[in-house]
């Protein structure tokens, strides 16, 4: 087994100990990227020489006896809505094509400070709007398990890059499920932290009250390590909580003895048999490990989706007003400023982004504001209160992450509502601001990975990760990546056993 497949912590340990050089590790990641990119299209930008230079600096530190940090020499991938100084950051949109941010996102800075080396920027649904990565202006990403399937979205490039073993760690953003849903569809772990645990400084805004950055990794331990590195207060984001990053590694072995786990009943009729079975099996595994497991109904969870699809577009319509042909990226000239703005936006934004801007603008317009935006905000409050009430009885909640296994490319592109339904189980955590994780749990009836979701109350990351670690132990190895491109032969596990 190659060191890269042993995960981020193992790579960092070997690099810090001088057993392997960061340059060697990065070369291997770049070689894998090269070998898989033609089939997968995970990347928007590849950072070959820059990555090599950064890796050399990590090796220099090791050579001089300085500690390069907990992610020393770990190759990572960054969703292309995270600002990287001097490196094109497109949000997979024509309107930002060629734009090079004059600064790094806080998360990017912290990762580099911990010794991680970015090998590329990953593909996403344009401005993170979508559930399949098919809304990218630069073509879709393919699911490494089955190239005819979507990787999920919007962080599909990051999820697929981890699932294909190109990098042991990648980063995405989750506004309504964009980390957890692709993680589930690609057989990797994905975390959406509590709103405010990770700084959004330098994350290009989609819906500011919902957006959070989080990690993808093959294991819960690596995802936890990554969150420890990127989390914690940041004066440059006023919504970021002034507290240290959650401590997660220390809880990994604690088990679930005595923990109260609520199994959400409300999605049973909305999800496939495979997804239902995975969640039920996961509940049984937790009970067998000593948790007190009970069914619970939070009917408001099903109201999350309609509320989300008003609030998110409303915030997006405001955030995306800044792309006016003057300050960023693309400009299409016109006879006057208004025509220039309109032509730029018509040429620069794809269909889904335009749809969201129109829905959001409508929902915020005079005369309709209260009926749409106001109503959605009231529903948001109801959803939050309902989950808070559930957490008085339970430490964590368990549910499917997605309604189905990865679907065929093109299957839902003609029907936006169908696509939106992919987010049914994930949006509530964004509306409430509470944390959630997706853990690979089974291979479904179509032979593709199925994740289960553990949700926790605000700042309950440690409990959530503790439970996820137990689930990971109980899950069959065949359900998780990395996989060779095109998937592995049935029954063959991650380590080739």
Q: How far is the CB of 495 from ligand GLN (least distance, A)?
A: 31
Phi-psi region of 364 (alpha: psi -120 to 50; beta: other; left: phi over 0): alpha
Which residues between 161 and 190 bind ligand GLN (CB under 6 A)?
Answer: 173-178
Instruction: State which residue, 154 or 274, has the beta carbon closest to ligand GLN.
Output: 154
Residue labelled with tokens 């399949």? 132
Residue labelled with tokens 């529903």? 379
Instruction: State which residue, 45 or 158, has the beta carbon closest to ligand GLN.
Output: 158
Burial class for 239, CB neighbours closer than 10 Å (0-12, 13-18, 19+): middle
Which residues between 453 and 482 bind ligand GLN (CB under 6 A)?
Answer: none
Q: Which helix (H) or strand (E) holds 359?
A: helix 351-364
Q: How far is the CB of 154 from ligand GLN (least distance, A)?
A: 4
Whether 192 is catalytic is no
Instruction: State which residue, 175 or 344, has the beta carbon closest to ligand GLN.
Output: 175
Give the span between the Cα atoms of 246 and 303, in whole angstroms: 30
Q: Which helix (H) or strand (E) holds 375?
A: helix 375-393
Give the span between the Cα atoms of 296 and 261, in whole angstroms: 9
Whether 178 is catalytic is yes
Q: How far is the CB of 180 from ligand GLN (least distance, A)?
A: 9
Instruction: State which residue, 91 or 390, has the beta carbon closest to ligand GLN.
Output: 91
Q: How far is the CB of 494 from ligand GLN (least distance, A)?
A: 27
Select the span of 122-130, 141-149, 373-381, 409-417 touching ligand GLN (CB under 6 A). 122-130
Give the span between the Cα atoms of 125 and 157, in whole angstroms: 9
Give the span between the Cα atoms of 309 and 147, in whole angstroms: 29
312, 357, 450, 470: which one contacts ligand GLN (CB under 6 A)?
Answer: 312
Residue labelled with tokens 């749990």? 441
Q: How far is the CB of 246 from ligand GLN (least distance, A)?
A: 21
Q: How far is the CB of 356 from ligand GLN (least distance, A)?
A: 8
Residue labelled with tokens 């420890």? 228
Give the span between the Cα atoms of 349 and 323, in whole angstroms: 9
Q: Is the peptide bond before 367 cis (omega within 30 degrees of 0)?
A: no
Residue 222 near ligand GLN by CB under 6 A: no
Site string for ligand GLN, 127-146 (x = CB under 6 A): -xxxx---------------
Site string for ligand GLN, 78-107 (x = CB under 6 A): ------------------------------
Instruction: State which residue, 176 or 360, has the beta carbon closest to ligand GLN.
Output: 176
300, 423, 461, 478: which one contacts ligand GLN (CB under 6 A)?
Answer: 423
Give the span between the Cα atoms of 189 and 223, in whole angstroms: 7
Whether 154 is catalytic is yes
Q: Which of 92, 178, 399, 404 is catalytic?
A: 178
> What single-letter DSSP state applies at residue 164?
T
Instruction: State which residue, 206 or 394, has the beta carbon closest to ligand GLN.
Output: 206
CB atoms within 10 A of CB 493: 12
Give the span between the Cα atoms of 115 and 93, in whole angstroms: 30
Give the span between the Cα atoms of 62 and 142, in whole angstroms: 37
**List of residues contacting ligand GLN (CB under 6 A):** 128-131, 154, 173-178, 206, 312, 423
Catalytic residue annotation: 79, 154, 178
């Amino acid at each position: 087994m190659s060191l890269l497949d042993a995960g981020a912590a193992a790579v960092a340990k070997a690099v810090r100990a001088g057993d392997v050089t960061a340059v060697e590790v990065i070369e291997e990641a770049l070689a894998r990227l090269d070998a898989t990119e033609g089939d997968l299209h995970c990347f928007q930008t590849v950072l070959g020489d820059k990555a090599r230079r950064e890796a050399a600096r990590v090796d220099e530190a090791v050579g001089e006896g300085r500690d390069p940090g907990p992610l020393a020499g770990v190759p990572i991938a960054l969703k292309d809505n995270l600002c990287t100084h001097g490196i094109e950051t497109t949000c997979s949109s024509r309107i930002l094509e060629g734009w090079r941010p004059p600064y790094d996102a806080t998360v990017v800075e912290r990762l580099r400070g911990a010794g991680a080396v970015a090998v590329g920027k990953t593909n996403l649904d344009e401005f993170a709007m979508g559930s399949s990565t098919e809304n990218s202006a630069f073509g879709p990403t393919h699911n490494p398990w089955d190239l005819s399937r979507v990787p999920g979205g919007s962080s599909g490039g990051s999820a697929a890059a981890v699932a294909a073993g190109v990098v042991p760690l990648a980063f995405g953003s989750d506004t309504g499920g964009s980390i957890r849903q692709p993680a589930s569809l690609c057989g990797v772990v994905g975390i959406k932290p509590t709103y405010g645990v990770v700084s959004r400084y330098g994350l290009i805004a989609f819906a500011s009250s919902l957006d959070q950055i989080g990690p993808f990794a093959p294991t819960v331990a690596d995802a936890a390590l990554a969150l420890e590195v990127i989390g914690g207060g940041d004066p440059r984001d006023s919504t970021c909580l002034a507290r240290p990053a959650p401590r997660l590694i220390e809880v990994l072995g604690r088990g679930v003895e005595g923990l109260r786990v609520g199994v959400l009943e409300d999605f049973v009729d909305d999800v496939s048999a495979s997804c239902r079975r995975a969640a039920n099996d996961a509940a049984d595994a937790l009970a067998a490990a000593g948790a007190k497991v009970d069914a619970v109904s939070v009917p408001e969870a099903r109201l999350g989706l309609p509320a989300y699809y008003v609030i998110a577009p409303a915030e997006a319509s405001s955030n995306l007003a800044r792309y006016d042909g003057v300050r960023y990226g693309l400009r299409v000239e016109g006879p006057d400023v208004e025509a220039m703005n309109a032509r730029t936006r018509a040429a620069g934004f794809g269909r889904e982004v335009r749809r969201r801007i129109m829905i959001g603008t409508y929902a915020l317009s005079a005369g309709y504001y209260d009926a749409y935006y106001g109503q959605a905000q009231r529903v948001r409050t109801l959803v939050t209160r309902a989950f808070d009430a559930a957490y008085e009885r339970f430490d964590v909640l368990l549910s499917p992450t997605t309604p189905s296994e990865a679907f065929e490319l093109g299957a839902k592109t003609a029907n936006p509502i169908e696509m939106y339904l992919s987010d049914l189980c994930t949006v509530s955590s964004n509306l409430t601001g509470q944390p959630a994780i997706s853990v690979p749990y089974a291979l479904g009836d179509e032979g593709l990975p199925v994740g289960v979701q553990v949700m926790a109350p605000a700042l309950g990351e440690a409990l959530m990760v503790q439970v996820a670690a137990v689930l990971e132990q109980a899950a069959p190895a065949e359900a998780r990546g990395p996989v060779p491109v095109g998937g592995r032969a049935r029954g063959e596990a991650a380590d080739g056993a």
